[in-house]
Structure 1
Amino acid sequence: MQQLSSVKELGLRSNSRGSQVVSHSSSSVVPHSTNPSTPASQSSTREVEVLRSKIKLLEDQLAKAERASAASAQSPIWDSRGNQSHITGIFHVHREAPSEGQAPTMSRTIVHKTRIFGQSHWINGVAEFMDILETVEPLLSADNSKVLFNLQKCKYLGRIIKSQRTPSWPTPSTPDLPPKNLADALVDVYLRTYECRYRVLHVPTFRKDYDALWGSDTPPDMEFIILLKLIMAIGAVVHDDNYSLRTQSVHWVYEAQTWIAEPDFKARLTLPFIQISILLLLAREAVWVNGALIWITVGELVRTAVYMGMHRDPSYLPHRSTFVSEMRRRLWNTILELALNTSVDSGAPPLLTLEDFDTHPPGNFEDEDITADDPSPKPDGTFTQMSISLAIRKMFSTRLAIAKSLNGIGAHCSYEETIHLDTELRTSYRAICRTLQGYDPGVSSPTQFQIRMLDFLVRRYLLALHTPFYPPSLHETSYAFTRKVVVDTALQIWCAVNPSSDIMTTRHRNQPQSSEPDYLARLAICGSGPLRMITTQRRIPLVLSPLRRDLLTVVENSCKWTWKCLQAGETNTKGYLFLSLVNANLEGMMRGIPEDQFPLLYLRAAEEAQATCLAFFEERVGEGEENIQMELAGINEMPFESLPNLISSWDFMIPEQFDLTSADSIYWSSCGFS
């Protein structure tokens, strides 16, 4: 407070002197305004500007000191609750304990090993079900229970399956490509899905280089080969319903990661290198090669782009062609999206402000237009290849504010602020929807995939915004709006990515079916990015809500949906196990089973789930491999106390990681949280 008083006193005195000097200087400058080049006039003007700058600096310091003082005076009381389970491992939930007259307690952060998750991370929803895991835990430890042993067997088999897909590290790049008809299909599906969401390529230029690649006898440019393989790796995720090209896509990502890790960094400060860096991040997330950690790598990408001046609008830099200027704006726009969205996915602060850049949004150009001389952008009412990206950009500032309110280190978003941000986002989205509806479908208009992906993005932020207040909303009428938002939006997301759901069959029975594959549903099942995680997380509110027939249908179908993910190549069975326990909980409540019988109900559900997964994995690996069968038989003889270190993992609802360095055996226990 003494420092605050000193700053305040200094600021007030400076303001007083500054106002007097400015007034005096202004009066002396005005008579000479007809001759601004005189030395006296220039000197007075400089003095005034210097004083104004000093005053502004002192005012900023005063404001920061006052905010810090207010935050210190109103700092919340934190309650840390530790939980331990053989399924989830040890974690700590930090809750803000309510003072008198405040809102009910809510989770603020969750800590597991060396990671800390903010409120936007999907695990905050799952944490509400820890009572189920705590109830079944004693039975899992019983001598006659096979759940943990089967879980360990599934994990062992899952590692074998992953090792069969994973190449050695490093993986040198080669010019080898799949047959052209397959490459054409993978490129096409990428352009139909990811490229219309994250603008990375100039499509005509890419098409020209791609066609030339197949018709040339000269050695191909390895930089373009890496870019193409990343495009194919992403396209492979939605190429078919069962992700048949998973092994190839993993290999392509490893090649790109090896190439980009080469030490010749300075020579790669180019736009093609930025394009490859973006595509590698998208591929790592979709294929799930260390996908949970891409927020860290995005930080490096942001700094690389800043070092290249991409955070400054081209109009403030030496003259460049329209093509180069627009590509810089497009790539910076995509980098902003990656920085923001990975912040929400990882539950980490965005570490980005609107004051950190002045690059304008890209123009509403078709790709062909920016290669012309002095082109003019299309009107806002004309749909182009940039329209969806520009629509998303219009909501950037509001979404950034949401991410900061949820994951900032001093984030204590009040319910009033939550409602304010909700209103801002909805208002922007309504205006965008009116624009999208105004496009002439006979000329050019967004695809159903683009519309659904845009809708998913908005709902994702609304749900992240309201999730902290959802548990209290089940008991407090003052949060009734949050309860409605979370339940309705979670249901809409589930229906969007699960068109075969009984709910969708009932609601849309008479609607015409599209001949185009459902890429959004494929991304949710085969892909491993935010669509999969958010779909998993958003089923949780439907379970916590008062029993409704449509919500019960979603919960009952959840295990079937998760099983499809396993069939598409997922190797983590804990999500299927967890949802089986949740379904058992609902079944017990609906049947009116006495409370003391719930643990046995959970145990039977867990045993059945793990037995089903084990049989599936054994069939996939191959029962004829004698060494694997001997290893599995030996697990049954392992001492129980050795199992937790082998099977406990917080990431029990998301895909298993591919490790680029094969360092699974290294664990720095001294670096973890206690």
Structure 2
Amino acid sequence: MFTCTEEQRKDAVDYRPHARNQHARKRLSRLETLVTGLFKAQESHHDPTRRTSVDTELRSAFEANVTKSTLANSIGKLELTDNGAAYTGSSHWTTILEEIQDIKSELSEEYPSEISTPASSVQDAEYTQTFERVSLLNSAPYLAREDILSFIPARKVADRLVSHFFNVFDLGPFLIHRGTFFEEYTRFWIAPSNTPVMWLGLLFSMMGTSLLMQRRGGFRESTSELDPYEMLDSYRAMTAHCLSASEYLKPSKYTVETLILHFALDHNNSPDASTENWMLLGVIVRVAMRAGLHRDPSNWPNIKPLQAELRRRLWIMLYHMDFFTSTQTGLPRIIKDSQCDVRLPRHLLESDLNFQIHDLPPERRCNERTSLLGLIERHEIIAVGAAIYDAVESGSASPATEHELLLKLQTTISSLSDEARFHSFETSIAQDPMSLLNQICLDTLIQKDFYLLHRRSFKAEFTGQSAANKQCIDAALTILGHQRRLDEETAPGGIFYSIRWKVVSLLNQEFLQATMLLCLALQRAAKLQQSSLYRKNEIVQALVLAKPLFAKKSDRWTEARKAVDAINAVTLTEQPHTTETANGETSQCWSNWESWMDDSMQAPSLEALDFGRDVTLDIYLLGDDENWAMNAA
């Protein structure tokens, strides 16, 4: 019987002219071998010169076989299923391999779809299955599914908490699609043991969020006979167990949503800024990137409109969380704008979206105020603030860069709608409390951007009279003015009393930074012996009024106690007084804060106070700094 080789059979049956080019096929096989070798080289410790040689050879092969336009148009690969998502960038070896597969399909329909696996790879796979990889992030012990299910409360309790989540937590319906969730919720109570563990984590995180809102709002009614504080701790712990059990580093359905809610619970557990939160957020952002959330869904036409909008909403929330957490801890932002292309979510109500629609309806108008619209409006200001923070975080920006950023900030402010702007309390008393609160938050962020832009020069070149110094002082005074009114209007009978739980720690860190900035201004003016500090009387008055606001939170907020100490240090009475010593002599005891600052024997200097883990006030104000290592305890 006549036989032929596989190569001869391919040439005989594949009659397409371009597929007969055996030389091209050999070059593709060689290219495939190079890519596979590159992947193996990443897991070994070859000689650097050999790696360079492989890289050069690989690059040359691509230039010979793949057009540059093909690679330029490649945005990576997104594998999207009902259970999760996995994104791979265009430079990853698997994406490159897919490019090869596309070319091979043009050459021959019968070209093998997968490369042969070397024997060593098979051995490695068997080894991985036998010895599970241990990671610092996913090796924590977790409970079994049966034990996790035992912590689910009675149906009545769960119903109330879930209802509270969707109806009181403004961003709840934008984070999780209500209709889809309740279909899954119904199925869960029919067959709990068939429910994915990650979905259980989402449920625990939603119930924990609901309990946190109830605790902040001072709700007296209880959803259960159990202690709400114990329930909150229990649900937070169960969320962590579910995340670990579901291998959250491999994103599946609801992984990012659960991580966001879990982060919020941890972040709001203490008002003090924590670097641990910044590290946790770094993990969440990278998990989100692994799911491709940093790329706009329009890059993949197969993504349904509802799913696309939900992905955009998740990303904008992560972007804002990254900005606030990084600026609060004085550490670099995790998200790099140059690596992302996500559009803003559309201003649509929950009723506008469902999985059946193929074309999104027109956006709602700006006068239809929603929490999502507030999130969208804040984003432009936050994006400018992020650019400013990136530019000045490692050192002072050049005058040209600073001027360019200032113009960008001013342009962004001028583009805001009138409905988004804060005017005054007196002209806004007829507004919806939530709309007014959004305006205050946005105005505070605007002032924060001015402060971030000039914070370096404020420390290094303080005169109290320069335009940059004045802008910082104006911004800080405005922020502390918002602090006073928010405190007044969250009291019984106030405008914000009905939504007071949303104000509790919303802007704590911004109030704290504004306070430190004004304290530093007074201290620097004293050292420079400036009696004509810009808006000096207003600064002193603002700090005196802010002191009791921090004092009443100092029992649960460590940084509030430090703020009280700082205010005490710089706002002593204006006149010296005479006291009698033990031997009957008289001495002049300076209460004037300027003279007191110059006399290190009478009181510790402001910079000696314990700000920000035993660092000086300058370091606390500026965040990350080249002097951190020298000043940190």
Match of 1:431 among 396, 415, 421: 415
3-state SS of 1:264 partner: coil
Alignment deviations for residues 362-391 of structure 1 (CA, whole Å, 9 cap, x no partner):
222111212152232315545364322222
TM-aligned CA distance change 1:223 to 1:352, over 3 Å? closer
Compute the displacement of 1:245 (Å).
5.9
Post-superposition shift, 1:224?
A: 3.8
Q: Mark the structure with the bigger radius of gyration.
A: 2
Q: Give 3-state SS (helix, strand or coil) of 1:305's partner.
A: helix
Does structure 2 conserve the Cα–Cα contact (< 8 Å) formed by 1:237 and 1:523? no
Contact preservation (8 Å) 2:512, 2:563:
no
Does residue 201 (structure 1) correspond to residue 183 (structure 2)? The answer is: no
The AA in structure 2 aligned to 1:274 is V
Which residue is 1:115 aligned to? none
In the TM superposition, what whole-angstrom CA distance separates every residue of 1:579-626 from its partner, at most 9, and x where no partner exists?
335414421555474457966764799xxx9xxxxxxxxxxxxxxxxx
- How far residue 473 of structure 1 moved from its aligned partner, in angstroms, is 5.6
* Residues 473/517 of structure 1: CA separation in 2 closer, same or farther (3 Å cut): farther
Q: Which moved more, 1:542-551 or 1:422-431?
A: 542-551
Deviation per residue, 1:330-382 (Å, 9 max, x gap): 11222222233322222222243333122322222111212152232315545
- Structure 1 residue 426 displacement after superposition: 2.8
1:175 to 2:152 alignment: yes
Q: Is the 8 A contact 1:365 1:384 kept in 2?
A: no
- Choose which of 422, 438, 460 in structure 2 pairs with 1:450: 438
- Residue 451 of structure 2 corresponds to 463
1:285 and 1:292 in contact (8 A); partners too = no
> How far apart in 1 are the matches of 2:210 and 2:187?
15
Matching residue's letter, 1:467: R
* Structure 2 unaligned spans of 5+: 1-62, 73-139, 221-226, 423-428, 523-532, 578-588, 618-628
Corresponding residue for 1:518? Answer: 500
2:381/2:412 contact within 8 Å kept = yes
Distance 1:492 1:485 in 2: 11
Corresponding residue of 1:553: 541
**Closer, same or farther in 2 for the Cα pair 1:469/1:236, shift >3 Å?**
farther
Q: Hey, what does 1:535 align to over in structure 2?
A: 511
In structure 2, the residue matched to 1:279 is 261
- Match in the other structure for 1:316: 299
Over the matched positions of the two proteins, sequence identity in percent amounts to 13
2:478 to 483, 488, 492: 492
State the Cα distance separating 1:309 from its structure 2 match. 2.1
Please give the per-residue CA displacement for 1:464-505, whole angstroms capped at 9, x wherever unaligned.
Answer: 22222223564264xx2222222222122222233377xx79
d(CA) in 1 for partners of 2:360, 2:265: 33
Normalising by the residue count of structure 2, what TM-score does the alignment of the two structures yield?
Answer: 0.57
Q: Which amino acid aligns with 2:209?
A: I
> 1:222 aligns to what SS in structure 2?
helix
The residue that corresponds to 1:259 in the other structure is: 242
| Residue equivalent to 2:14 | none
Q: Distance in 2 between the 1:350 and 1:454 partners? A: 20
Alignment match of 1:269 (pick from 243, 251, 256): 251
- For residue 274 of structure 1, report the CA deviation from its aligned partner: 0.9
Alignment map for 1:219-230 (pairs within 5 Å): 222-230=200-208
Which amino acid in the other structure matches residue 543 of structure 2?
Answer: V
TM-fit CA distance, 1:202: 2.8
| 2-structure distance, mates of 1:235, 1:460 | 26
SS in 1 for 2:485: coil
| 2:335 partner SS | coil
For residues 202-236 of structure 1, the C-alpha deviation after alignment (integer angstroms, 9 at most, x for no partner) is 345557767x5999796786234223134225425
Deviation at 1:538, TM superposition (A): 1.0
Which structure 2 residues correspond to residues 69-218 of structure 1 after superposition, within 5 A? 173=148, 174-176=151-153, 179=157, 183=161, 187=165, 191-192=169-170, 199-203=174-178, 205-206=180-181
Pair 1:521–1:601, CA change in 2 (3 A): farther
- The whole-number CA distance in structure 1 between the counterparts of 2:189 and 2:66 is 67
- In the alignment, is residue 364 of structure 1 matched against residue 351 of structure 2? no
**2-structure distance, mates of 1:349, 1:487:** 25
Partner amino acid, structure 2, of 1:235? M
CA contact (8 A) 1:539 1:555 kept: yes
When residues 499 and 434 of structure 1 are mapped into structure 2, their CA distance, relative to the original with a 3 A threshold, is closer
Is 1:398 the counterpart of 2:362 in the alignment? no
Paired AA for residue 228 in structure 1: M
Q: Compute the displacement of 1:53 (Å).
A: 9.9
Bigger relative contact order (CA 8 A; separation at least 6)? 1
Instruction: Please give the residue correspondences for 1:558-569 in structure 2 after superposition, counting only pairs within 5 Å.
Output: 558-567=546-555, 569=556
Unaligned runs of 5+ in 1: 1-44, 55-167, 525-530, 610-643, 654-669
Alpha-carbon separation, structure 2, partners of 1:407 and 1:354: 15
